[in-house]
């Protein structure tokens, strides 16, 4: 049995008051566009007319994947620990953006293939030294799946009193794993979920789709049921990735605690897709940062009826889109709290 979470659906008791506060700022109705939607959501999640975003935390979950040996990535597996070291040294994109916006960064090792040296910014919660090659066997045991979910939840708890969590990931091959998870959950064909990832050419994308198709067929035979009909624990054990599942656990725990969180790109959205199969209400706590350049991400956002904050053709991962959206989220809360109303400013409202 999978670890359980209890996520409360958002209440509507303050909805009218929140919307009234937005509508009576010194602006035409709707003039701040998406900022108004973000402000409404944060106020609704925090159940207050004076929401705050004073403390934020970026968590980047890292793991390796056995299927990389089959060629689902343009980069070799040793890049995962090399990039983790780059995060810790402050040289990665997410590192410099977090520094720019004064958001602390923590890297969480849940499945990197090697042992990383101790570092103040590294949290060691290793479940396994990479997942198994899912084209040949189940990727993970049920115990490992639960450990990954728990690792994500525990990391959120370790953050303390945060107002906002931002999530990212690092793991060579994890766009392929995410594509496979999306196909397993939604029944979407691998050729529609497999993208370029770290820079595959057309032949590489085709090969990735073939490996995903082979993996799904193997699992279908083992489970004796077609994709789209698997239970969440079957998806997770057969084709899951440790860092993706840890993000799912972190999202579920954030929502359980009543905290909003920021969803990065394709891989992070797949983590939310899995989390939503455990607790549908988790989606209400998610702020969608951007639409990435991975081909399946647009369809996945449409699945959630989500309007992302940014569209910059990013496909880096790491939480880079999440941290880039952060100042916009802060601006939404700032206008909601500090912008004058027509009454307080002595400005005539529209008739």
Which residues are designated catalytic? 318
Pick the range with the lowest mean pLDDT from 8-22, 46-60, 66-80, 314-328: 66-80
37 forms bridges with which residues in the sheet?
none
Q: Return left, alpha or beta for 198; rule: phi > 0 is left, psi -120 to 50 is alpha, else beta.
A: alpha
Please tell me whether residue 51 adopts helix, strand or coil conformation. Answer: coil
What integer pLDDT is reported at residue 59 of this predicted model?
98
Please write the tens of the pLDDT for every residue from 78-134: 999 999 999 999 999 999 999 999 999 999 999 999 999 999 999 999 999 999 999
Answer yes or no: are the C-beta atoms of 190 and 288 closer than 8 Å. Answer: no
Greater confidence, 347 or 212? 212
Domain boundaries, the chain: 56-326
Answer yes or no: are the C-beta atoms of 77 and 112 closer than 8 Å. Answer: no
Please write the tens of the pLDDT for every residue from 256-273: 999 999 999 999 999 999
pTM for this model (two decimals) = 0.96
Buried b / exposed e across 246-260, counting CB within 10 Å, b at 16+?
bbbbbbbbbbbbebb
Residue 71 CA, distance from chain mean position: 24
What DSSP letter does each residue of 72-140 carry, written as one string?
A: -SSS-TTHHHHHHHHHHHT-SHHHHHHHHTT--EEEEEEE-SSPPPP-TTEEE----SS---TTTS-S-
Nearest residue to 233 via CA among 299, 110, 138: 138
Please write the tens of the pLDDT for every residue from 7-39: 999 999 999 999 999 999 999 999 999 999 999
What integer pLDDT is reported at residue 332 of this predicted model?
98
Confidence of residue 1 (pLDDT cuts 50, 70, 90): confident
Nearest residue to 178 via CA among 272, 108, 80: 272
What integer pLDDT is reported at residue 346 of this predicted model?
63
pLDDT over 80 (residue 350): no
Residue 45: exposure state from Cβ atoms within 10 A (0-12, 13-18, ≥19): buried
Share of the chain above pLDDT 90, in %: 89
What integer pLDDT is reported at residue 351 of this predicted model?
56
Pick the range with the lowest mean pLDDT from 60-74, 250-264, 314-328: 60-74
pLDDT over 70 (residue 242): yes
pLDDT over 90 (residue 218): yes
Please write the tens of the pLDDT for every residue from 180-200: 999 999 999 999 999 888 778
Q: Return left, alpha or beta for 115; rule: phi > 0 is left, psi -120 to 50 is alpha, else beta.
A: beta
As a whole number, mean pLDDT of residues 45-60 equals 98
CATH assignment, 56-326: 3.40.50.10210
């Amino acid at each position: 049995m999978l670890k359980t979470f209890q996520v409360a659906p958002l209440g509507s008791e303050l909805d009218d008051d929140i919307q009234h506060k937005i509508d009576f700022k010194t602006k035409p109705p709707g003039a701040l566009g998406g900022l108004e939607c973000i402000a409404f959501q944060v106020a609704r999640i925090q159940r207050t007319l004076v929401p705050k975003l004073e403390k934020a935390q970026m968590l980047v979950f890292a793991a390796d994947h056995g299927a990389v040996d089959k060629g689902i990535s343009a980069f070799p597996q040793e890049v995962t620990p090399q990039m983790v070291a780059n995060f810790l040294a402050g040289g990665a994109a997410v590192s410099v953006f977090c520094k720019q916006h004064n958001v602390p960064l923590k890297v969480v090792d849940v499945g990197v293939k090697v042992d990383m040296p101790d570092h103040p910014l590294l949290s060691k919660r290793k479940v396994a030294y990479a997942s198994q090659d899912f084209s040949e066997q189940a990727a993970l045991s049920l115990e490992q799946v639960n450990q990954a979910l728990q690792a994500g939840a525990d990391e959120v708890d370790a953050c303390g009193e945060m107002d906002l969590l931002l999530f990212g990931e690092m793991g060579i091959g994890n766009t392929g794993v995410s594509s496979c998870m999306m196909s397993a959950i939604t029944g979407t064909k691998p050729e529609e979920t497999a993208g370029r990832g770290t820079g595959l050419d057309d032949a590489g994308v085709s090969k990735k789709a073939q490996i995903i198709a082979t993996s799904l067929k193997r699992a279908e035979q083992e489970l004796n049921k077609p994709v789209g009909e698997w239970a969440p624990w079957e998806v997770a054990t057969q084709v899951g990735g440790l860092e993706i599942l840890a993000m799912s656990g972190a999202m579920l725990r954030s929502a359980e605690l009543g905290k909003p969180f920021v969803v990065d790109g394709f891989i992070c959205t797949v983590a939310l897709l899995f989390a939503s199969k455990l607790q549908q209400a988790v989606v209400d706590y998610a702020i969608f940062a951007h639409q990435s350049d991975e081909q399946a991400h647009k369809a996945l956002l449409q699945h959630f009826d989500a309007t992302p904050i940014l569209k910059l053709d990013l496909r880096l991962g790491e939480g880079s889109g999440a941290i880039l959206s952060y100042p916009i989220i802060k601006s939404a809360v700032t206008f909601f709290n500090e912008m004058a109303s027509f009454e307080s400013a002595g400005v005539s409202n529209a008739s």
